[in-house]
Structure 1
Amino acid sequence: MCGIAGTYGYGADTERIARRMSGALAHRGPDGEGLFVDGEAGLAHRRLAIIDREHGAQPMTTADGRYTIVYNGETYNYLELRAELEQLGHTFRTDSDTEVLLEAHAEWGTAAYDRFNGMFAFAIHDATTGTVTLARDHFGIKPLYYRVDPASEAGGAPKVVFGSEIRSLLASGTFEAAPDDRAVYRYLKFRVQDDDSRTFFAGVNRLMSGEVLEIRPDGTEVRSFTRLKEELREIAARPSRPYDQSVVDEYRERFQDSVRMRLQSEVPVGTSLSGGLDSSAVAAVIARQLRERPEDEGYEAVGSRQNTFSAVFPNSSNDEERYVDALLDENRGQITAHKIHPQPEAFLEDLHDFVRTQEEPIISTGPYAQYAVMREASQHITVLLDGQGADEMMAGYNPYFYVYLRQLRRQKRFKELASEVVGSRDILRKLARTKFSGRTSVPMEALLNSGFVAEHSGEKVTSVQDDLKERLLEDTFRSSLPSLLRYEDKNTMRFSIEGRVPFVDKELLKFLFSLDESAIIHDGWNKRILREAMDGILPDMISKRRNKIGFTTPEGEWFRSIAPQLRDVFASASFASRPYFDAPSVLALFDDYIAHPENHGTLMFWRLLNVELWMRTFFDDAEGATRALGGSADEAALAAAPAPAAVAAEPAAEEEVVPKSDYVANEGKQLDLVSEADGRTWRRLPLQTALVARGDDVERIARERVEAFAASLPGGVVPDGAPWYFVISEKIIAITQGRSWFTWEIRPRRSAKVLSRFVSRTPAGIGLGDPTTMELAIREVGLPRVVAASAVGAAGKVVGRRGLFYEVVGANVRAIDGPTPYSAFPSNVSAKLPPKDPDAVAAQISAAIRGADISAALRDGFVGTVVMDANDIGRNVLGSDVPTTNEVLEATFADNPLGQGRQRTPLAILVDLGGADRR
């Protein structure tokens, strides 16, 4: 296991660049380093010596001087390949697998790579042709990143840098790092990463599994060297082998062989043990071998006792220590156990290094448990086996049950379908509770900059829904396993450990695909063949587990423990400055999480946090890059401060800017409108405000906002003597009165769920088509009245009369709003009743405005306050203290000039430009 790096096309700078890149990979190879330069090519190597420690130094060159390799990985069938090559006349100077790969390339070219069984990423220079060939193993266990200078692609020789880690490319100094906004969006919105060749760094790509990149003097080419995925599909399409005990026995032998191959080492080998089925199977197979046949060749590196390493979280909801202990008890005498206890305080201390280690954002804090384990393991061993890959190859996650059931339905295998439904009813019940819990999660778009969302709105992520083996292929090669392998490599190599994964073996996977799906899922049990193969080897409490936890942290408990530190991040000036986030919404939601953690998960917050810390680590200045958490108190105060009332210039059209001027229209709107109701010209000036909360003083908000508006009022915007009105959205009043609730705070009764089915949902979220809004209607006027109104409404439709429902149920119910996707947080995840006594509220606000510190001329022109329910579907005046008719006032908002999105302009100054007689 090592680190490799290289350059191509940089002429006299080649050696200098290659040395810088090598320096960035020192942690991957503390046992040696080497450099090779020839013409336009430079290859660098950092060695972690595992096999042939004395003679396996790199770069390594063939005896004739033509081919030179730098190699990261292990090829487990190298002895068989060596014997074959010797028969073809090749001679070997070392006992290393590196030389076998080099001679195999010399003999067969890139066709050799499909014959390798192992994990590898390497670069081979051909002195005769001047080419460099990069390759990555069949599953992408070992990483390889590259960047082709776009200027060089236009013509002439390419300029390329490549390496085992992105930091080595950054260290080359050949380009300026920038984030890839598409990757950031897909991560935040869809929780995806590592699923294609683009990384989170613009212009930096990863070589995908089973691919080669050929760098020639005249250009570059990426292609696949293997048909493994196509072979697996072809195998699956053939008649399946009957599933019987002989199949189980053969799988056990193949799995044991896969474990044995991965014990080849001249340095100590240990095992990661989470307590789950997969890692426990690896540890149990080794322990059994040590107990029953300790003299067997291939187990020398384990020693007389196997070292296992486990992260445990006593008294936590996801602690698996009892399963770890069950395996230890059954193999007493064969295992020396090491238990690591990660803590949230240590997580905070390690967070900067952890983010830097992973190089790109990750889905959860789960890999930190692995990070902590590897740190401890590095004090005892150099090679570590674990159970990665079994979930993706044998349907280890619960959603696979849905995929299999859909497949059985599509194939009309109804008898098997019925059996699987019965067998998996507990899992299906759990999935259904999650899916149909009635709780509404906050859409990620509600927390992102709307311009950023609009730019990437065309991005989609799909997955196979009704073909189990095709879904397993998708997750193995694209959607799931690549991320896990990345975590594995980064965490192990951070502490100079080689990680090996026995389940990720192409021959083992081919065998699985030769079997019917019932070998994978049967009678409600996934990983069937592994469970049965481990019968008598694993304790029943492990082999027959139904609850999967995985190698992770108790993230929810940790976030509650360190919430103040996390809040500092979301309140910082740097977070607010990013082009990705709607910082006030994030902070408001996180505050609700702190107050009501039971209503929220943590995955969304982690993604937002991870992007921010990643930006600080890799793109901010030196001070920002060395800071693990939040800004200073001054930064937090700056971010939390309300936006100033005015700015000198109009916001740029292509991007929402905070703050916006009080004296310009929202994007796509206009200041002045000629009303169809009275033919007069009206000016509408939308006012931006901070988010309001339950219990806020709406009169104070109005007074201070009008004072801010008046403080820098340009001449002519409100002509002297022109009547003007203060318009306030009903949402603000309802929220301050406590008549607005997050959807997860409302528990709809059964009657609300049933009745809401018969109401059409509007695209704007208005009306009673959602159980939460129907529940509010029932609370407001009572179930009998809602049922009676429903009956009258249904009868009215029969005779062609519409609107009878609302005539019976009343205006308060008509004004109930549900979650509105276009609105700013929290309206996009809230349901609300109309404000209580809006006429009285209007009068109170008017009194406050008349007492405001504004000019006498402006005070004299003030007419009063209007409580307006305005949206893109309709306008309704709910209350006012002015003589102007509702019809006239509603017509002035015909094009809805208020901010319905993240403009946060729920207030407006409405100016009658027609004359004083309008007062």
Structure 2
Amino acid sequence: MCGIAGYHGFGENAAMLKAMSACIVHRGPDGEGYFTEANVGLAHRRLSIIDVAHGQEPMISADGDTVLVYNGEVYNYLELRAELEELGRVFRTQSDTEVVLQAYEQWGTEAFDRFNGMFGFAILDKKRNVTVLARDHFGIKPLYWANVGTDAAPKVLFASEIKPILATGELKAAPNERILYRYLQYRIHDDSAETFFAGVNKLMPGEMMTIDNATGRFAIEAFTRLRQELEELSTQNRPYTPEVTEEYRQRFTEAVRMRLKSEVPVGSALSGGLDSSAVVVTINKLMQEQAEAVDSIGAKQNTFSAVFPNSINDEEHYADAAIAKCSGNIQAHKILPTPEGFNEDLDDFVRTMEEPIISSGPYAQYCVMKEASKHVTVLLDGQGADEMMAGYIPYYFAYLRQLKKAGDYRKLFQEAGQSLDIFYRLGRFRLKSKLTAKKSVSMGQLLNKEFTSGHRGEKFTNVPDNMKLRLIDDLFHKSLPSLLRYEDKNTMRFSLEGRVPFLDKEVVKFLFSLSDEAIIKGGWNKRILRDATRGLLPEKISNRRNKIGFTTPEAEWFKLMNERIYKIFMSNSFYNRPYWNREAVLTAFEEYLNDKNDADTMIFWRLMNVELWFREFIDQPETPADVKLNKSDYEPNPGKELAIESAGSSFLRFPLQTEVFAKDTELAPAVAQYPQRFFDGLDSAPAEVRDAVTEARTDGRKWYLLVSEKIVAITQGRSFPVWEIKVSPAARVLSKFVTRTPAGIGLGSPWSMQIAINEVGLPLIAKAAAASVAGKFQGKSGVFYDVVGNNINAIDGATPYSLGAASNSVKLAPKDPEGVARSLSAALRAALPANAVENFGGVAIMDANDLGVVVMGHDTVLPTETIAGMFKDNPQGQGAQATPMSLVVTGA
């Protein structure tokens, strides 16, 4: 198992290959190799599994005309090697890599369909003057590519992951909005050659790309008819008999045995489900029989299970049953993923997956692989069984519709009757959801209408009434590709090779030649697997009806992680994405946390995952979200002016950029340092500023400090994170009647309305609301705030353009702003030199935004109207400007 990367069209560019290879060290920490010639470059990272001492890559043929870089394992390589030796070929190594190389030399691209295994490789063929890329029959191993040239003059980049392609700098990372829409709206991904990155594609299962080395032009085609073969075999309907069950058992056992071939330790992933348990007990049987290749297991089989004590997702007792059945031949490792660990690993997890995924479930697999890598280098698991043996409930419905369409009502009623317990549980869940009468929430309600309108033509459908065709479609397009992506990314992140015996090509072909009863019979799915492992598996696993698999208790975790999720949804970057309505998302999440709607956590996960994916891969590093602009004390904020007229006088306003204020910030000393910095730096200020300030001080004109009420409230502990605010039904209802204002201003959110209720009580809020309604009939405005008083009009909501905690917290007006102004003035007089204090005119506490200006308190001799006039254009800002105070100098 390894990682590959390369290009066509960039000459002998060793630096590019090195940059690509550096991105996939985790896929092959045991070695690296490079090859360049003419317009072709190949890079390889090696994870040594077979023929550890040899098999280094790129591997070059004896005559030097064929060069291979290869990621994967071909399990029937010994049989192919014997066939090639009979044809006169001589081998220098014991590796499957050389078998792949010589098989291509012997049979050309027809060799690929002979391989039974997993692979993604690139071959430079000098004789034919082509470069060939190929991906295995089921797409177990990935192979991404991008044409960064033109159709007339292509330049192709390719790799086992997307990161190496981006690392070349030849392709700017940008979202594929069509795939993004399909993922958000329909929960689908990995069903086509397109990826979430515009311009980056992948070879689909069983495809190869042939590049003409002379022109760079390329063509993509299938090297196999496997899908068509499965469709043809599905019509044979070989009767399901005990003899067939025995043959399947033997074929499956051999598939497992072939995947034990290794010179490094091999273990197993054990969820406790039927599929992974079948792999574990089959390995145990092979060990008892001392079969060939079991030496890689060691004295005991290492199993790795994710467990979630006291959670509805926990399968530990099933895993324990499988372990007990193996009579002491298991060394069990139990991993306990936690929401705290998920929170800590989240960024790396998103980076590992490279593209958004359907839920946080694969994090359990990520944790399992992290632990497994400490003990083994190869891991077998049960991936693929669900998609070939109807492991999910929707397959039952497809089968029943198939029977109805065929007019086989006897079997239809028989199967439906024997599946009643499954349908009962499903129906009970749906009925319970309807009876709770919760507000219904769908992804479509949360998405930006302009975004969705551009993709109205996108549809997603499944094969409705043919079970086997539905399974085949899911194997190659709808379901399995995404699961295989998770498997590959999670294993290789920790330098593990994952092997999937259920996806043995010959076993799959045998299964699809059987009648439907081998898949569903008597109300039981996976019937042939259940029957083939009777006696090996404990009955509680053989007779399991519920499916969980490697996943996380997402619903439980999201409520525990609400602070992290709120911060993501309230961030500047999330607010500015054109794909969703942030206010609708926040409202839905708040209602979900309070059990007021029927939202599925996967809705919030998809939104969160896309946001984190953008931050990791798309957002430009020179303009990251939630950071300060680099502004001096002597220039205005963008779009503003230093000078302004108020009450017949002129003033110069100098917004002072500060650190982010927090609850534990001591306000007075923190504020005092910034005017000190302003005066200390005057000598290096622009001449016109220095002259104006010096002239004003010489003439005895005053300077003032105007401070945002927001930082005062924060340091007084009157700022409340939204996740700490328990929203009442009254606040939720009342906030909906508030005229929507710019984000974060006023009482238009349930959180800001709730702290208003907490501050003055619901009766006064209700009275003010009633008065406001009456006032509107009389043509009056502002009646609500006149009645409610108590500076409720100064409440700030969570503002997406703010820095730090201000972006996700709600703030009351500061207490005693007049007293705060006096104390700040005293602190400034004590801290500043005499020549600055001499002309100091005092402090004003300001509530200013684009809607208006309020002077909440001051200790100056200026009229309040004059101070308000200084700020009528709202020159400060607590967003990227980070200027919550301004030093104001009286002009000439």
Structure 2 distance, partners of 1:281, 1:302, is: 16
Per the alignment, residue 253 of structure 1 pairs with 250
CA contact (8 A) 1:568 1:631 kept: no
CA contact (8 A) 1:60 1:70 kept: yes
**AA in 2 matched with 1:250:** E
The Cα offsets for residues 509-536 of structure 1, whole Å up to 9 and x where unpaired, read as 1111111101100111000000011100
Per the alignment, residue 44 of structure 1 pairs with 43
Per the alignment, residue 273 of structure 1 pairs with 270
The Cα offsets for residues 93-145 of structure 1, whole Å up to 9 and x where unpaired, read as 01111111111111111111001000000000012343210000000000000
Structure 1 distance, partners of 2:350, 2:199, is: 20
**AA in 2 matched with 1:282:** V
Check if 1:400 corresponds to 2:331. no
Structure 1 distance, partners of 2:418, 2:226, is: 33
**AA in 2 matched with 1:293:** E
CA contact (8 A) 1:36 1:44 kept: yes
CA contact (8 A) 2:358 2:602 kept: yes
CA-CA distance at 1:700 after TM superposition: 12
CA distance 1:585–1:533, change in 2 (3 Å): same
CA-CA distance at 1:370 after TM superposition: 0.4
CA distance 1:419–1:90, change in 2 (3 Å): same
Per the alignment, residue 574 of structure 1 pairs with 573
CA contact (8 A) 1:420 1:523 kept: yes
From 175, 180, 192, the equivalent of 2:176 is 180
Per the alignment, residue 526 of structure 2 pairs with 527
Per the alignment, residue 544 of structure 2 pairs with 545
The Cα offsets for residues 226-265 of structure 1, whole Å up to 9 and x where unpaired, read as 0001111111122x22211111111111110000000000
Structure 2 distance, partners of 1:699, 1:265, is: 64
Per the alignment, residue 383 of structure 1 pairs with 378
CA contact (8 A) 2:54 2:95 kept: yes
Structure 2 distance, partners of 1:38, 1:633, is: 48
CA contact (8 A) 1:699 1:845 kept: no
**AA in 2 matched with 1:232:** L
From 278, 281, 288, the equivalent of 2:285 is 288
CA distance 1:560–1:704, change in 2 (3 Å): closer
**AA in 1 matched with 2:249:** R
Structure 1 distance, partners of 2:560, 2:125, is: 56
Within-5 A mapping of 1:700-739? none
CA-CA distance at 1:372 after TM superposition: 0.4
CA distance 1:88–1:622, change in 2 (3 Å): same
CA-CA distance at 1:2 after TM superposition: 0.0
CA contact (8 A) 2:209 2:218 kept: yes
CA distance 1:320–1:848, change in 2 (3 Å): farther
Structure 1 distance, partners of 2:729, 2:628, is: 23
From 362, 367, 372, the equivalent of 2:362 is 367
Per the alignment, residue 319 of structure 1 pairs with 314
The Cα offsets for residues 500-558 of structure 1, whole Å up to 9 and x where unpaired, read as 00001111111111111011001110000000111000000001001111110010110
**AA in 1 matched with 2:75:** Y
CA-CA distance at 1:441 after TM superposition: 3.6
CA distance 1:313–1:10, change in 2 (3 Å): same
**AA in 1 matched with 2:444:** E
SS of residue in 1 equivalent to 2:331: strand
CA contact (8 A) 2:11 2:37 kept: no
Per the alignment, residue 201 of structure 1 pairs with 197
CA distance 1:130–1:317, change in 2 (3 Å): same
Within-5 A mapping of 1:498-537? 498-537=497-536
CA-CA distance at 1:842 after TM superposition: 4.5
Check if 1:161 corresponds to 2:92. no
Structure 2 distance, partners of 1:170, 1:704, is: 42
CA contact (8 A) 2:306 2:365 kept: yes
From 351, 366, 371, the equivalent of 1:356 is 351
Per the alignment, residue 819 of structure 1 pairs with none
Structure 1 distance, partners of 2:286, 2:733, is: 73
Per the alignment, residue 894 of structure 1 pairs with none
CA-CA distance at 1:297 after TM superposition: 1.4
Scaled by the length of structure 1, the TM-score of the pair is 0.69
CA distance 1:581–1:415, change in 2 (3 Å): same
Per the alignment, residue 31 of structure 2 pairs with 32
Structure 1 distance, partners of 2:428, 2:404, is: 22
CA contact (8 A) 1:272 1:310 kept: yes
SS of residue in 2 equivalent to 1:162: strand
Per the alignment, residue 108 of structure 2 pairs with 109
Structure 2 distance, partners of 1:104, 1:262, is: 20
CA distance 1:10–1:414, change in 2 (3 Å): same
Structure 1 distance, partners of 2:589, 2:628, is: 18
Structure 2 distance, partners of 1:245, 1:467, is: 25
**AA in 2 matched with 1:53:** V
Structure 2 distance, partners of 1:96, 1:204, is: 32
The Cα offsets for residues 533-589 of structure 1, whole Å up to 9 and x where unpaired, read as 110000000010011111100101101111111111111111001111111110111
Structure 1 distance, partners of 2:513, 2:381, is: 25
Structure 1 distance, partners of 2:582, 2:86, is: 67
Per the alignment, residue 776 of structure 2 pairs with 845
Within-5 A mapping of 1:405-484? 405-435=400-430, 437-438=433-434, 441-484=440-483
CA-CA distance at 1:593 after TM superposition: 1.3
For structure 1, the 5+ residue unaligned runs are 635-690, 710-730, 738-834, 855-919
The Cα offsets for residues 732-781 of structure 1, whole Å up to 9 and x where unpaired, read as 99xx99xxxxxxxxxxxxxxxxxxxxxxxxxxxxxxxxxxxxxxxxxxxx
The Cα offsets for residues 620-640 of structure 1, whole Å up to 9 and x where unpaired, read as 244888xxxx96899xxxxxx
Within-5 A mapping of 1:598-613? 599-613=598-612
Structure 1 distance, partners of 2:736, 2:201, is: 54
CA contact (8 A) 2:591 2:597 kept: no
Per the alignment, residue 562 of structure 2 pairs with 563
Per the alignment, residue 233 of structure 1 pairs with 231
Structure 1 distance, partners of 2:479, 2:367, is: 22
**AA in 2 matched with 1:268:** P
CA distance 1:851–1:548, change in 2 (3 Å): closer
CA contact (8 A) 1:310 1:338 kept: yes
Structure 1 distance, partners of 2:549, 2:415, is: 24
For structure 2, the 5+ residue unaligned runs are 630-726, 755-765, 786-892
CA contact (8 A) 2:147 2:157 kept: yes
Check if 1:98 corresponds to 2:29. no
Structure 1 distance, partners of 2:317, 2:740, is: 60
CA distance 1:566–1:463, change in 2 (3 Å): same
CA-CA distance at 1:87 after TM superposition: 1.2
CA-CA distance at 1:699 after TM superposition: 11
Aligned length: 668
CA contact (8 A) 1:703 1:848 kept: no
Structure 2 distance, partners of 1:331, 1:703, is: 67
Check if 1:330 corresponds to 2:325. yes
SS of residue in 1 equivalent to 2:43: strand
CA contact (8 A) 1:420 1:522 kept: yes
**AA in 2 matched with 1:83:** A
RMSD of the TM alignment (CA)?
A: 3.0
CA contact (8 A) 1:703 1:849 kept: no
**AA in 1 matched with 2:150:** S
**AA in 1 matched with 2:251:** R
CA-CA distance at 1:415 after TM superposition: 0.6
Per the alignment, residue 56 of structure 1 pairs with 55
CA contact (8 A) 2:321 2:538 kept: yes
Per the alignment, residue 3 of structure 1 pairs with 3
Structure 1 distance, partners of 2:91, 2:116, is: 20
Percentage of identical aligned residues: 54
CA distance 1:307–1:455, change in 2 (3 Å): same
Structure 1 distance, partners of 2:576, 2:770, is: 40
CA-CA distance at 1:357 after TM superposition: 0.2
The Cα offsets for residues 636-661 of structure 1, whole Å up to 9 and x where unpaired, read as xxxxxxxxxxxxxxxxxxxxxxxxxx
